[in-house]
Amino acid sequence: MLQSVFGPPSTVSEYAAFADVTVHFTSQFDVQFGGRESWDHVVAATRYSTGLFVPPPPPVVTPAADMDSSAFTYLVTPEYKLSPDLMLYARFASGYRLGGFNVGVPGIPRTYNPDKTNDYDLGIKGVLLDGHLSYDASLYYIDWRHIQIYVLDPALVSAYLANAGAAKSQGVEFSIQARPFAGLTVKLEGSYDDAVLTQNFPTNPNAVGSLGDRLPFSSRFSGSVSAEEEFPLTGALRGFAGGVVTYVDSRKGEFPGPTQTRVEFPAYVKADLRAGTRYENWTANLFLNNVADRRGIVGGGSAYFGTGYVADYIQPRTVGLSITRAF
């Protein structure tokens, strides 16, 4: 086994300056511009490692280290209102995720670099039937560079982060909400996502990924349908009852090593119910989540530890009561 003791805690410090402005070119057309510059400083603590997989003589001391990085991200969102009830919009944005340090074990890369995205959206939203029906749908494309992936070193039985080329995520998502009569709201949401590698992995003895392979834990299809009815009880006291059914398609696990088979997690359906009362700013909610006690798997697999199989499940059937107050 591998045992570690750390010195002073690892820290991440970030300083950022950001601003956004919306320009109204006409009464129908406006564009939002935004930008953010960030400066980051990551400090990895001193690590003292001992155990079965640590070369003698233990302990192995990995000294503290630090890393500086900076990034500029942007946002451009044009909107065009065809009418008071119909709008077209687009969104162009960039994203950034910090790099950092892995555990200080000989044989594992000490650092991994930031990964970055360029995001493109084109959508439409509107309302119909005097507000009784609303909808929002969009197409999107995400270009992802230097993606961060989990890699297992089977000899050390230790996972670490590494960078692995490029990927993309493209698809469509939509949301439809109906209010057929006072008090009842029905909502349907869904998405299709094609999230795959656009490059083969660089040479790595502990991970295999090829052009077209799906990204870990990305489901092609997902969606939900929900309904809630609110009704008067007495005076200012109102009641409500509803539920939601969620579907998550099958997903692939982490990228495997050369001698491993990539894990695939099956699709699952989960149903939740709720009922309660509202009084002014107070809400009492009695809920029953995962009614059928489904064992949907959201993570795990043999690639985490190299031996055996580990699975992370959704929360089992749960009954509870919450009381909240809005301020």
Which candidate, 154, 189, 151, 155, places its Cα nearest to that of 173?
A: 189
The CA-atom distances, in angstroms, between 203 and each of 9, 134, 157, 206, 210 are 33, 49, 20, 9, 11
Q: Band the pLDDT of 311: cuts 50, 70, 90.
A: confident
Q: Band the pLDDT of 43: cuts 50, 70, 90.
A: confident
Alpha-carbon span 68 to 277, nearest angstrom: 51
Alpha-carbon span 57 to 45, nearest angstrom: 21
Greater pLDDT, 139 or 110: 139
Q: Band the pLDDT of 165: cuts 50, 70, 90.
A: confident
Alpha-carbon span 210 to 152, nearest angstrom: 17
Alpha-carbon span 218 to 97, nearest angstrom: 18
Q: Band the pLDDT of 4: cuts 50, 70, 90.
A: low
Considering the entire predicted model, what is its pTM?
A: 0.84
Q: Does residue 111 have a pLDDT over 80?
A: yes
- The residues pairing with 136 across neighbouring beta strands, listed in sequence order, are 125, 175
Q: What does the mean pLDDT of the chain come to?
A: 88
**CA-derived radius of gyration, the chain:** 25
Please tell me the predicted confidence (pLDDT) of residue 31: 97
Q: Does residue 318 have a pLDDT over 70?
A: yes
Q: Band the pLDDT of 104: cuts 50, 70, 90.
A: low
Q: Does residue 90 have a pLDDT over 50?
A: yes
- Percentage of the chain exceeding pLDDT 90: 61
Which candidate, 142, 76, 145, 143, places its Cα nearest to that of 115?
A: 145
Q: Does residue 12 have a pLDDT over 80?
A: yes
Q: Does residue 52 have a pLDDT over 80?
A: no
Please tell me the predicted confidence (pLDDT) of residue 57: 61
Pick the most confident of 75-84, 98-107, 143-152: 75-84
* Identity of the residue numbered 98: L
Q: Does residue 8 have a pLDDT over 80?
A: no
CB under 8 A, 24+ apart: contacts of 78-82 = 78/29, 78/30, 78/31, 78/32, 79/29, 79/30, 79/31, 79/32, 80/28, 80/29, 81/27, 81/28, 81/29, 82/28
Average pLDDT of the residues in 39-54 = 73
Please tell me the predicted confidence (pLDDT) of residue 156: 63
| Boundaries of every domain in the chain | 1-114
Which of 40-54, 115-129, 220-234, 269-283 is predicted least confidently?
Answer: 40-54
Alpha-carbon span 67 to 14, nearest angstrom: 12
Q: Does residue 204 have a pLDDT over 80?
A: no
Q: Does residue 306 have a pLDDT over 70?
A: no
Cα 53 → chain centroid:
33
- What is the bridge-based pairing of β-strands 29-44 and 65-83? antiparallel
Please tell me the predicted confidence (pLDDT) of residue 240: 96
Please tell me the predicted confidence (pLDDT) of residue 135: 97
